[in-house]
Amino acid sequence: MKSSNLVDADVIGDNHIATSIDTPMRSDAFDLSDEQKISIIESKFRDIMDTLGLDLNDDSLNGTPHRVAKMFVQEIFKGLNPQASPKISVFENKFQYQQMLVEKNINLNSTCEHHFLPIIGKAHVAYVSSGKVIGLSKINRIVDYYARRPQVQERLTVQIARELKRVLNTEDVAVVIDAKHMCVSVRGIEDESSSTLTAEYGGVFKQQNRREEFLKYLALGK
């Protein structure tokens, strides 16, 4: 019989509930070096594979614990480390462009924090300049940085919007994410057709006409 704590944990996981806007991190999260973390994760993942009954003497499997550990620390979860945050420069809006700028179909690869399975989709971002503009590729980098950590899609949407507001010094930011969750398609309900949409609207995008304009831009070319 499951304890109440495990039942509560299952409810949170199965319903994809987030508990905070900030990614939950311990204060000592970066006391260990990347190399130390890789070594520890490698050892523990080797134990997992061994428990599953896999033959770790096989040439194909022997290096898997190290590969997984390195991937966790230096690739798919590198967004946990503040030192990996993109260096963002903004510029004067010399063209005096006053309309919304929209960048859509930004590739998004993240990981569900409840089951550690992939979240794959697209992010769509818009902002109206308050006097500053940002290089287009930097928007992609901001999306990728916050995606490269264990996530809940609602939190990811808010974190991207919050960072763009900070960098651009404006509330006039909109973020929409459309993504498929492997924890829905390969386990549990095993629904391969559904996707999840989340949105965060700030400033002028809270106005219905500006929000509808943004959404019309997203429909172009589809």
Examine the residue annotation and report whether 115 is marked as an active-site residue of this protein. yes
Q: What is the DSSP string of 124-156?
A: EEEE--SSEEE-HHHHHHHHHHHHSSEE-HHHH
Q: Which position among 42, 153, 163, 200 bears the catalytic label?
A: 153
Give the three-state DSSP class for 176: strand
Q: Which position among 16, 115, 151, 200 bears the catalytic label?
A: 115
Examine the residue annotation and report whether 181 is marked as an active-site residue of this protein. yes
Q: Which position among 42, 113, 163, 200 bears the catalytic label?
A: 113
Examine the residue annotation and report whether 213 is marked as an active-site residue of this protein. no
Examine the residue annotation and report whether 16 is marked as an active-site residue of this protein. no
Q: Which position among 124, 151, 163, 181 bears the catalytic label?
A: 181
Examine the residue annotation and report whether 66 is marked as an active-site residue of this protein. no
Q: Which position among 16, 42, 112, 159 bears the catalytic label?
A: 112
Give the three-state DSSP class for 161: helix
Examine the residue annotation and report whether 212 is marked as an active-site residue of this protein. no
Examine the residue annotation and report whether 124 is marked as an active-site residue of this protein. no
CA distance 159 to 98: 25
Please identify every residue annotated as catalytic.
112-115, 153, 181, 183
